Every structure is written in structure tokens, then in C-alpha cells.
Amino acid sequence: MSDATDPKAWVARAEEDYLLARSALRRKTPLAYGACFHAQQCAEIYFKAILVQRGASFPKTCRPSMICVYEAIYSSA
């Protein structure tokens, strides 16, 4: 990613995963696994956009669980 500190860059990346998930489901033979993977990535990256916007930090390899995400969001509010 060009700028990991820009929430808009994270949102753009999440939108790309959303489009990939949607495309995978709209095929003549839907690709359920691929759709689920990209939907999960979309949600995770949107959460990272929120964390970046709130000024919270996370490791580069972070795969946030819901609990970690809520803690990070509300502790930085």
C-alpha cells in the first residue's frame, strides 16, 4: 500500500476486495471460497481503516479479532 497512514487508502483497498467478492459470487459457477476470502479481507481492511483514522496502531501482520478491534477503537476515541 502506498500510504498505510491514510484511512482513504485502506478504504480503497477494502472496496477492491468487496468488488472481488461480489464478482466471485456473480459468476455462472460461483466461487464461494474466493467470495468468502475477499469478504473477510474487506471487513478486516475496513477495520484497519477505522484504526488508522482513530490514530491506533497495529502490527503490520495484525489480523484483528473483533475483540481487539473494539478495544483499539474505543481506547483511542
> Looking at the domain assignment, is residue 68 inside a domain?
yes
> Looking at the domain assignment, is residue 35 inside a domain?
yes
> Looking at the domain assignment, is residue 58 inside a domain?
yes
Residue-level pLDDT at 74: 67
> Looking at the domain assignment, is residue 12 inside a domain?
yes
Residue-level pLDDT at 6: 94
> Looking at the domain assignment, is residue 19 inside a domain?
yes
Per-residue pLDDT tens, the chain, 77 aa: give them: 668 889 999 999 999 999 999 999 999 999 999 999 999 999 989 988 988 898 877 666 656 666 666 666 666 55
Residue-level pLDDT at 13: 96
> Looking at the domain assignment, is residue 2 inside a domain?
no
How many structural domains compose the chain?
A: 1
> Looking at the domain assignment, is residue 1 inside a domain?
no
Q: What's the pTM?
A: 0.77
Q: Residue 20 sits in which domain range? A: 7-75
Concatenated DSSP letters of 11-64: HHHHHHHHHHHHHHHSSSS--HHHHHHHHHHHHHHHHHHHHHHTT----TT---
